[in-house]
Structure formats: structure tokens, C-alpha cells
Amino acid sequence: MIIILVGAPGSGKGTVAERIQNKYEFPIVSSGEILRNEMKQETAIGKQVLSYVSSGKLVPDRIITALIKQKISKHQHKCSVVLDGYPRNLNQSLALEDMTQTKQRVFYLDVPKDILKERLINRGRTDDTEKVIEQRFEVFLNETRPILDYYKRRDTLVRISGTSSDEIFRKIDALLSK
């Protein structure tokens, strides 16, 4: 099974992925972490993606898809994987289906925007400035939100609303342990 966490910036994708990993021991594949790692190590890919990540735009699909494919294939022997931050547009959703035919469950972490902004400002990652946060929200609305309709039609989407990651994890946990 592939557990896909979709949500606006700051909705807790990373936090909830860790909670799932702690309980179920499923490996996490996080697109943001992979990209930050490439940038930190100043690899060729890291250099290519820097301007996108630091301005809050999506990096080109072919770059992120190749990176995700590589990671997922490493975990093929595991029963489940948690995906944090991928797919983020329809093209990536289709690419993921090409990559693996494993059953998908999509959880949309729905958290009020005012809470999100406050969390990000307090965290202070280099892309957590007011201007870049706004850009990341825009990208979420315009490019990522459409995949929610796509998964809804395929009956794989569950909307999880809440304000604390405790509450959100509890709801997801209840569904996973069924």
C-alpha cells in the first residue's frame, strides 16, 4: 500500500508521516526532504532545484519524479510506504501510477489557513518567509488541489480535518488499523 499525504504547506504532512512511521514502521518518502538533502549536499540536482524551492514553486516534474521513483524502488520489498509531498499535481499522480501498481490511500490533511501560516512562520525554514509561504499556498491551490478531485473520483481520498496533529493522526490511525 502507498499512503499519500496531501495538504497545504504546514498542514502536518511531515509530522503525521513520522507518527505513522513510529507506529507501523512504514518508511517515509518525503519529496521536500529529498530536495533539501540534494541542495545541502550541493549536488547537480540540488543546484538545479534551488531557485524553485527557495521561491516556493514546484520543481520540474521530471526531476522530482525520477528522485521519487528511485526511493520507492528501494522500498519495494516493504509492505507499505508513506509519501509526504508527492504527488503535487495531476501529472505526478499519473507518473506515480506508472511507477507502481500498489494500492493507494490518499489522506487530505485539511487545516485552517490561519493556523498554517503561524506554524510556518514559527518554524523558520529558509522557505518559511511570508512571501514564499504565500507562493507555496498559491501553488497548493492552483496545482495540487485539482488532484483531490481526481482521487475523490477514484474513491481513494479521505479528507481528514483537524487542528492538531494528534487529532489528525488519531483519525488516520483508526482507518489504517481497520
- 2 phi and psi, to 5 degrees? -110, 120
136 contact, one of ligand AP5, Mg ion, none, CB 5-8 Å limit per kind: ligand AP5
What is the rounded distance in angstroms from the CA atom of residue 72 to the CA atom of residue 92?
14
- Considering the complex, state which of residue 163 and residue 178 has its C-beta at the smaller distance from ligand AP5: 163
The C-alpha angle with vertex 58 and arms to 74 and 28, in degrees rounded to 5, equals: 30
The H-assigned helical ranges of 12-112 are: 13-24, 31-40, 44-55, 61-74, 90-99
- Considering the complex, state which of residue 45 and residue 53 has its C-beta at the smaller distance from ligand AP5: 53
Here the cell at position 46 is 540540488
Please report whether residue 14 would count as binding Mg ion according to CB under 5 A: yes
- Contact footprint for ligand AP5 (CB under 6 A): 7, 9-15, 31-32, 35, 52-53, 56-59, 64, 85-86, 88, 92, 119-120, 123, 136, 164-165
CA dihedral 112, 113, 116, 122 (to 10 degrees): -130
19 contact, one of ligand AP5, Mg ion, none, CB 5-8 Å limit per kind: none
Site track 26-45 with Mg ion (rule: CB under 5 A), x = hit: ------x-------------
Residues of this chain that bind Mg ion (CB under 5 A): 14, 32
